[in-house]
Amino acid sequence: MKSKAFKLWKSVALTALAASAVAALTFPAVPARAQDKSPIVIGMLEDTSGGASFYSQLTAGSIKVAIEEINAKGGVLGRPLKLIEESDANNPSQSPALVSRMIQNGAKVILLNSGSASAVASKKTLSEQKIPGLAPTNIDTRIGSAPDQEYSFMLPNPITDIGTIYAEAFKKMGVKTLGVISDDSPTIAGINGLLLPKIQAAGVTIVAQEKAPLDANDVTAQIIRIKEKKPDAVLVCSLGGQLEVLFENTLYQQLRKTPRFSLASIGNQPSTWKLAQPNALDGLVYAASIASNNPRSAALSKLLTAKQGAKFLGLTAYEAQGYDAVQLVKQAIEKAGQDDPTLIKTGLEHLSGYKPSFGSEKFTISFNPGKHIGTDGLCGLVLMQFKGNKPGAPFKTYQAACD
């Protein structure tokens, strides 16, 4: 006679088996063998809700416009491109699993469109599963550098280039002491780790370094601590969004006469400019990437105005780099002749002289097996200065030279 307890556990087992059957049904089926007309799947890791969402969604918008444009002209190798998306909410510990999931769902290339830290976290997964990943807008140098960088590529000027440019600008302005205010995201931590030593190596002393959490609602104490050290200039290192607006508002209130610098964030996020108090952004210098003499920037601007209408607030680095990333992937697939990931990676590594829609007119992008950071030179960056709460003119004191 079987005991009651045994029967109970048997029913538990049955329930669990049923549950795992349900779970199995939710897993996607193995993709069918590639046929001539089946789509080439591109995965996009993005941020739809976290600290990086301010720029991630700008990039995602132009990526989708680029894919639409390509598909309208017949696709790549006669096949349409299909985009699948996963959001990691700017949490790098989620990124590897989400990248794995997209690969499981058939992605042959991954566009890394979340924060820098997410891209860094994904490198190992990409190299283990031999799927190439391209980061259109992340500036953390580690993305394109060893270790684990065999399948990992980045498009923009890395933060070390911004460091070089700012160091030169500070030298020209006679800035000897700097105050730095940052947010506490892993992306900015990584970036500061690469940026600040470069500035210090050029002879600038950092006299104050303050941090604020991403959800801070008051930064007066931090700004006053910086104020008391009387720096020659202040640098704001932030992902952008509301927190940077709060930084700038408070800096304007407390340190109006001190020159202010930002990274590439707020200057490239037009939706945040109206959140600042009147005139609070006046004089702020930031690293833009759109030069007025680049015809491809103008062409892309027109395309996005047509496709996105009122949502398009003006071309920034983010949209341009997203668009260019898709074009580079397209060329790599064409070089490969098929959607095999390793061949696509090799295809990327043999792209050179690509003329992007950001940076100066003569600026080019190229990769090779030892160079996974796309920029050829510093003039992918343009220093711009705010006038009132809108970008004004290029920063007169210093600009990076194009060689």
Partner 1 sequence: MRQGGSAWVEPIVTLALAIAAMAAVHGSPYLEAVALLTCTYAFIALGMYLPFIMGGALSMAYNAYLGVGAYALALIAGRSDWDLAWSLPIGMLIAAATAVLLGFATRRLSGFYLAAVTLLFGIAFTTWLVDAESVTGGSGGLQGLRVPVFAGRPLSNSTLVMLTILAVWIVALALSRLRNSPFGVAVRARRRAAIAVESCGIPVSTLTLVSLGLGAAVSSVGGSLFAVANHAILPESFAVDLVFLCIFMPLLGGQDRPWGAVLGAILVVTFTFQLTFFKETGSLFFSLAVLLVLVIAPRGVLGYVLIGLQKLWKGTRGGETRHG
Partner 2 sequence: MPSQLFVSIVEIGCFFALIALGYLIVLYGAGFFHFALGPYAMFSALGAAYWVTASEWPLWVAVVAGVAAAVALSVVTELLVVRPIEKRVRGEELPSLIAVVATLFAVSQLAGTVFGRKPFPGQPWMDFEDPIEWGEAVIGGQTVIIVGVTLAIFILLAAWLRWSRYGQWLRAVGENQEAARTLGFPVARIRLAAFAVGGLIAGIAGPLFSPKAGVNFESGLSYSLFGFIALVMGGTGSIWAPLAGGLILAALQIAASYLFGSPSLNYATLIAAALFFAFRPEGLFARRVRH
Interface positions with partner 2 (CB under 8 A) = 48-50, 53-54, 89, 210-213, 215-222, 224-225, 241-243, 245-246, 253-254, 275, 278
By the rule CB under 8 A, 400 interacts with partner 1: no
Site for partner 1 in 205-244 (CB under 8 A): 211, 213
- Looking at beta carbons only, is 153 or 247 nearer to partner 2? 247
Partner interacting with residue 92 (select from partner 2, partner 1, none; CB below 5-8 Å by kind): partner 1
Partner interacting with residue 172 (select from partner 1, partner 2, none; CB below 5-8 Å by kind): none
Among the listed residues 344, 403, 325, 238, the one whose alpha carbon sits nearest the alpha carbon of residue 62: 325
Which of 63, 107, 117, 381 binds partner 1 (CB under 8 A)? It is 117
CA torsion sign for 65, 70, 71, 73 is positive
From 7-15, 232-240, 299-307, 358-366, give the range in contact with partner 1 by CB under 8 A. Answer: 7-15
Amino acid found at 285: V
| The two three-digit tokens of residue 128, written as one number | 């283990």
| The two three-digit tokens of residue 43, written as one number | 């995965």
Partner interacting with residue 241 (select from partner 1, partner 2, none; CB below 5-8 Å by kind): partner 2
By the rule CB under 8 A, 31 interacts with partner 1: no
Rounded to whole angstroms, the Cα distance separating 317 from 384 reads 12
CA torsion sign for 239, 241, 243, 247 is positive
Rounded to whole angstroms, the Cα distance separating 248 from 333 reads 43
By the rule CB under 8 A, 35 interacts with partner 1: no
> Least CB distance from residue 34 to partner 1, whole Å?
20
Rounded to whole angstroms, the Cα distance separating 60 from 373 reads 21
| Site pattern 172..211 for partner 1 (x: CB under 8 A) | ------------xxx-xxx--x-----------------x
> Least CB distance from residue 280 to partner 2, whole Å?
12
Helix, strand, or coil (residue 288) = strand
> Least CB distance from residue 301 to partner 1, whole Å?
32
> Least CB distance from residue 247 to partner 1, whole Å?
17
Eight-class DSSP state of 379? T
- Looking at beta carbons only, is 46 or 339 nearer to partner 2? 46
Which of 31, 68, 74, 97 binds partner 1 (CB under 8 A)? It is 97
By the rule CB under 8 A, 16 interacts with partner 1: yes
- Looking at beta carbons only, is 241 or 380 nearer to partner 1? 241
Name, in order, each residue with C-beta under 8 angstroms of 300's C-beta and a sequence gap of 6 or more.
62, 315, 319, 320, 323, 357
> Least CB distance from residue 96 to partner 1, whole Å?
7
From 20-28, 173-181, 223-231, 298-306, give the range in contact with partner 1 by CB under 8 A. Answer: 20-28
- Looking at beta carbons only, is 173 or 214 nearer to partner 2? 214
Does residue 261 contact residue 236 with C-beta atoms inside 8 Å? yes
Helix, strand, or coil (residue 234) = strand
Rounded to whole angstroms, the Cα distance separating 263 from 80 reads 37
In degrees, to the nearest 5, what angle opens at C-alpha 202 toward C-alphas 241 and 223?
Answer: 35
Torsion of CA 223, 229, 230, 234, to 10 degrees: -50
Rounded to whole angstroms, the Cα distance separating 60 from 204 reads 37
Does residue 113 contact residue 137 with C-beta atoms inside 8 Å? yes
Does residue 202 contact residue 171 with C-beta atoms inside 8 Å? yes
Partner interacting with residue 222 (select from partner 2, partner 1, none; CB below 5-8 Å by kind): partner 2
Site residues, partner 1 (CB under 8 A): 3-13, 15-17, 19-20, 23-24, 26-27, 48-49, 91-93, 96-97, 100-101, 103-104, 117, 121, 124-125, 128-129, 147, 184-186, 188-190, 193, 211, 213
